[in-house]
Structure 1
Amino acid sequence: MKGVYSQPDNILGRAAQQALFPDTTYGVDSGGDPQVIPKLTFEEFKEFHRKYYHPSNSRIWFYGDDDPNERLRILSEYLDMFDASSARNESKVEAQKLFSKPVRVVETYPAGDGGDLKKHMVCLNWLLSDKPLDLETELTLGFLNHLLLGAPASPLRKFC
């Protein structure tokens, strides 16, 4: 984990994620903060895993042209090993509330002695809605993001 936070792109991404989603689970690192991880007891770790890494808190997709009845039989055999859990209701992620004013975050990162190393980086983010987007809007924004920024030849990426 500490190695990840020595890379400028990862430091910038983590700071942007925390600034954009400060009130939701998306604002925290899924692997945990390396400064806090040693304080976690084994019992706390086991309880978190028992509660949230449970089939009741998952979605299962099927793919292929095998026999659906056999597929469901195998799945049922596996899922029958678990008791019901309320984790699905407890782990609902609420939407991030919109901000009343812009948020500015400045982070530093270790810069080496190399002459071609990036010394400055900028990340600009927008929280577009505090409600779930409809599928068409979400897909449109995803395409737009990819076209403008998602590839080395993208116009806004080339601009920087």
Structure 2
Amino acid sequence: FKRHEKLGTRYIHLDTSDTNNAFAIALRTIPQDSTGVAHILEHTTLCGSKRYPVKDPFFHMLKRSLNTFMNAMTSADWTCYPFSTQNEQDYDNLLNVYVDSVFFPELKELDFRQEGHRLELITKRMKEDIDNDNKILLERKGVVYNEMKGKMSDPSDLFAMHTDKNVFSDTIYQHNFGGDPEVIPQLTHKQLKEFHAKYYHPSNAVFYSYGDLQPCLRQLHELVLSKFSPLDSLRDIDDSITLQPYYESPVKHIACEGPPDAFLGEPDRQTRMCMTWLCNRVDDVEDTIGLMVLSQLLLNGPNAPFYQQMIATGMGYSFTTNTDVIQ
């Protein structure tokens, strides 16, 4: 483990004999709404950078490199850019592309419109129009917009989102970090760039490497750390996360509507219900494991008490359990 003296950047290297070497850049990204700004930024950073001003260098590397894994992912309070490869030269190439894309992206407005949201003119032939005239319509599109539109039309994803929204109603975890299709259009290109300037900084980053290659400290210094002033690390940014306090009494019953699952049939039998308890913090490993074991004992398998009461009696036809760690 290393920490940069002036910028505060953290670097973790796990030295092993594994020839499949991995690298990742992780940043704390805290959304204040459901515009999906962190998710859209994750996409847009990979559309071209200062040293690689070509369209979608990430996807060029997907096709050309010898990688065993390449991706980028957004969660409720962090964004991560990982890759792995067994070839040393390929490792260096990917490292160059990744760090330049993350810290020095072009963030063009056209890329924002492509990845985030935009309005497109479409021509739709109206069946009832006997004169064969065309009607001009506007349609909302965007890679992330379409992705989240599909996700929010899935009953299970929508149900989980509403659960988090109500359980963590006083925290950032109430927001749809991937983006709510009804809110995504409120995000502007300016806000996207401001979010990048706020959170995509070495002082807010953790570098992680794994494998039998030597730590890439020198490359990271030359490619990233030397480009930033130590004064930048003194930025006045409140990136603290308020935790949801425990409830003093049971929360009222909350109901929401959603689409039926087309694969299950019989929409009138697709009512979903859940009971959720706010438990321990994410860093309390012992309690987390204990709750997972308790969940298995009480709920999992045909001999479990919950199964006997829910399924065997015909009260319900399916159930699932989950012990999640969010805050």
Give the TM-score normalised by structure 2: 0.41
Give the distance between the partners of 1:41 and 1:94, measured in 2 at CA: 26
2:278 is matched with which residue: 121, 127, 130?
127
Give the distance between the partners of 1:36 and 1:56, measured in 2 at CA: 30
**CA 89–112 in structure 1, closer or farther in 2 if over 3 Å, else same:** closer
2:284 corresponds to which letter in structure 1?
Answer: D
Q: For residue 35 of structure 1, report the CA deviation from its aligned partner.
A: 1.5
Question: What percentage of aligned pairs have identical amino acids?
Answer: 34
SS at match of 1:127: coil
Greater fraction of residues in strand: 2
**Which structure exhibits the higher relative contact order, with contacts defined as CA atoms closer than 8 Å and separated by 6 or more residues?**
1
Give the distance between the partners of 2:234 and 2:301, measured in 1 at CA: 44
1:76 is matched with which residue: 204, 221, 232?
221
What is the CA deviation profile of residues 92-128 of structure 1, one whole-angstrom value per residue up to 9, with x for unaligned ones? 2121111222222211112367635551111221111
Give the distance between the partners of 2:238 and 2:299, measured in 1 at CA: 34
Q: How does 1:1-160 map to 2 (within 5 A)?
A: 1-68=148-215, 71-80=216-225, 81-83=227-229, 84-85=232-233, 90-103=238-251, 104-111=253-260, 115-116=265-266, 118-129=269-280, 133-145=283-295, 147=296, 155=304, 159=311, 160=319
SS at match of 1:60: strand
Aligned positions, number = 156
Structure showing greater radius of gyration is 2
Give the distance between the partners of 2:221 and 2:169, measured in 1 at CA: 39
1:120 corresponds to which letter in structure 2?
Answer: T
RMSD over equivalenced CA pairs, Å: 3.3
Give the distance between the partners of 1:8 and 1:27, measured in 2 at CA: 18
Give the TM-score normalised by structure 1: 0.76
Instruction: Say whether the 8 Å CA contact 1:23–1:96 is kept in structure 2.
Output: yes
SS at match of 1:61: strand
What is the CA deviation profile of residues 32-63 of structure 1, one whole-angstrom value per residue up to 9, with x for unaligned ones? 22212212221112101221233322322221
Instruction: Say whether the 8 Å CA contact 1:57–1:88 is kept in structure 2.
Output: no
Greater fraction of residues in helix: 1
**CA 13–86 in structure 1, closer or farther in 2 if over 3 Å, else same:** farther
Give the distance between the partners of 2:206 and 2:293, measured in 1 at CA: 25
Structure 2: runs of 5+ lacking an equivalent: 1-147, 312-318, 320-327
SS at match of 1:34: coil
